[in-house]
Amino acid sequence: MTMCLAQSNAWAGIDVTRHLFLFSPILALILTMLAIVACPIIVGRSAKTIGAVAVMGIIASFILALRVAGEVSEGGVSGLSTLPAAGLLLVDNLSIAFQIILLAFMGGVTYLWWMGSSDSEENAPEFFILLFGSAVGMALMVSTSNLLMIALAIETASLPSYAMVGFDKRDRRGAEAALKYLIFGAISAAIMLYGISLLYGMSGSLSVSVVAKHCIEALATGHDLVITMVGLMCLLAGIAFKVSAFPFHFWCPDAFEGAKVEVTTWLSVASKSAALILLARLVMVFCASISAPEAIGILSPLAWGIGIMAVMTCTLGNFAAYKQTSVKRLLAYSSIAHAGYMLMAVAVFVHPNSEHSQDGISALLTYIAIYMFMNLGAFGVVSMVVWDTGSDKLSSFTGLLRRAPLLAIPMVVCLMSLVGLPPFAGFIGKWWILVALGQLNNTLGWFLIIAAVFNTLISLYYYMRIVVHMTLRDDGQPALSFPLGGVALVNLCAIVLLAMFGLAQPMKTTSEQFTRNIFDTTTVAKTAVVDAATIQPIESVQR
């Protein structure tokens, strides 16, 4: 029953070199972090030097991730133990695909930071240590199905994020945002850990597949139902906090508004999508633990729970975005709404043997990839406006089409893509989520489709408000000065969004390739662990 890492015989038959290779993207991130720690001692604290080291680390990690992707693309799985289910870490298509997206996005954020930082920037090493630390946490979050590792990964991702939000020590708003983020985060982490302790106690294992089996038994028989469900709800609450889903979203607008724009960009995509992939993996393990396809209905309370949470998140984010005057805060609410759309994809509970088993998860992966470009572009424009005018109010965007056409046009493309209008990639992401929901062909599926379409209509209004301010109004503000590199970045994002619309079919094929055999992974995990049955009843072991 002990963890496999603690067993001496667990190391027999493990090809250490291969395993280190499979985890090399994460290891490269950690090594770069150490290099950045050493940099101030050896070559000084210059922002440009540290930035260069960071970029080299990201590129190295990216290349390694691509190579690993080639190795595991046919459903490879690995853990740091002989039993995939008992291992603390695993590598599969999904985790490596997310790592590739994460690293690409990290490159974009680093570039944005590099554009915005002046030569007097003194805290570059600290910023990058925090950035890399949270990236390691997010990469770990998607490559585990072990409760201990889930808790550790979420905390590894969260703790640096709190510090990043309050990074500017002289900024009152940053300090306040960090305090709020920290308090909500600490409470939800504590609740999640309590839930994990209950689930561990009830099922006798930290492996999610064993826990899932126990939960399904509890749902089917009603034995231990209350305490198991309390544990499960607490665990879901912790993950929902990272996603910023409905009852746990309060930190999101405050933290995003108070933080620097680069940090907001990073958190809005990376931390949310990592938590969503983690949630999707949990859902898959739960579905794979059901033996017969007909019995999937047993999970319908859980599916409805996530579905309703998705609808509430979406609607709340869209309605709250209405009256915002700060564009940063508006985009924060918009990111809550998008987390809602992505949660809808997670709510696609299907049995692994069914025909459409991976539609939901491949739609989610595509959506995250597209969302990354939309947000990078939109926040890139916001950051350049903030650097020049010092304000992120809607009024400082007035007449942007005349003042800086090279910023206004990509901003329009990104905003329209965020709405999900057809000539842009955002449409594809939303369309595939709707298709996956439609293929469920049950009440929940149609309910979510109606909610998603309704929400898209609402969101059109507040995105258009920014567009109208930029194009139709003009109050004679002076032209904007901006770094050329930044313009290149946001225009690149806009072009990618247009190109992705044309390349819809190849993208679908790729994301299906990366999500193929995910259910096999979890099925292997299911068959490999049978030790839950060996737990003795409580009475017999009272010593």
- Contact residues toward another protein (CB under 8 A) are 1-3, 6, 147-148, 151-152, 155, 159, 162-163, 166, 169-173, 175-180, 182-183, 186-187, 189-191, 193-194, 196-198, 200-201, 204-206, 253-254, 257-258, 323-324, 326, 329, 534-536, 538, 541-542
Beta partners for residue 90, in sequence order: 79
With contact defined as beta carbons under 8 Å apart, do 79 and 87 qualify?
yes
Residue 349 near residue 310 (C-beta atoms within 8 A) = no
Nearest to 84, CA basis, from 228, 195, 193, 210: 210
**Interatomic CA distance for residues 426 and 288, integer angstroms:** 30
Residue with tokens 């090279």: 406
Residue whose token pair is 């408000």: 465
Structure tokens at 285: 């393990």
Residue 207, strand partner residues: 146
Give the CA distances from residue 202 to residues 192, 424, 520, 535, in Å, rounded to whole numbers and listed in that order: 15, 48, 26, 10
- Residue 397 class from Cβ within 10 Å (0-12 exposed, 13-18 middle, 19+ buried)? buried
Q: What are phi and psi of 9, to 5 degrees?
A: -75, -5
Which H/E stretch holds residue 6? none
**Cross-strand pairs, 79:** 81, 90
Residue type present at position 202: M
d(CA 502, CA 499): 5
DSSP for 340-380?
A: HHHHHHHT----TTSTTTTHHHHHHHHHHHHHHHHHHHHHH
**Half-sphere exposure of 252 toward its Cβ, with a 13 Å CA cutoff?**
33
